[in-house]
Amino acid sequence: MSDKALYQQKKEAQLAVWKAEIDTLKAKSSMASADVQIEMNKHITMLEKKIDEGKLKLSNLIEATDDMYESIKNGVESSWDSLKTAFSDMASKIKN
């Protein structure tokens, strides 16, 4: 399997984990007070948008020629860093 295919698999697996985490957040939100639900739903919506951005960048990577692969990969990594930070921030807010 090529490096590109392995990278794609790794990122798709991470997306699946993040989707599962969002489902867990939605379940927690549904059990919270109305004010907390409103706040959590804002964050969940933002996370879902970031995941959609990540999916788009990943699909661009998949379609990229070998010449463009490295530059697009950098964009994917940037999106992933943003998603990691967003999930970390959300987790800390939920704990508080």
The answer to whether the predicted template modeling score (pTM) of the entire model surpasses 0.95 is no
Q: What is the residue-averaged pLDDT of the chain? A: 85
Q: What is the pLDDT of residues 26-57, one digit of tens each?
A: 898 888 899 988 988 998 898 899 889 888 88
Q: What is the pLDDT of residues 14-26, one digit of tens each?
A: 999 989 989 988 8
Which pLDDT score, from 0 to 100, does residue 45 have?
Answer: 92
DSSP calls for the chain? --HHHHHHHHHHHHHHHHHHHHHHHHHHHHTS-HHHHHHHHHHHHHHHHHHHHHHHHHHHHHH--HHHHHHHHHHHHHHHHHHHHHHHHHHHHHH-
Given pLDDT bands bounded at 50, 70 and 90, which one contains residue 9? very high
- State the average pLDDT over residues 67-81: 84
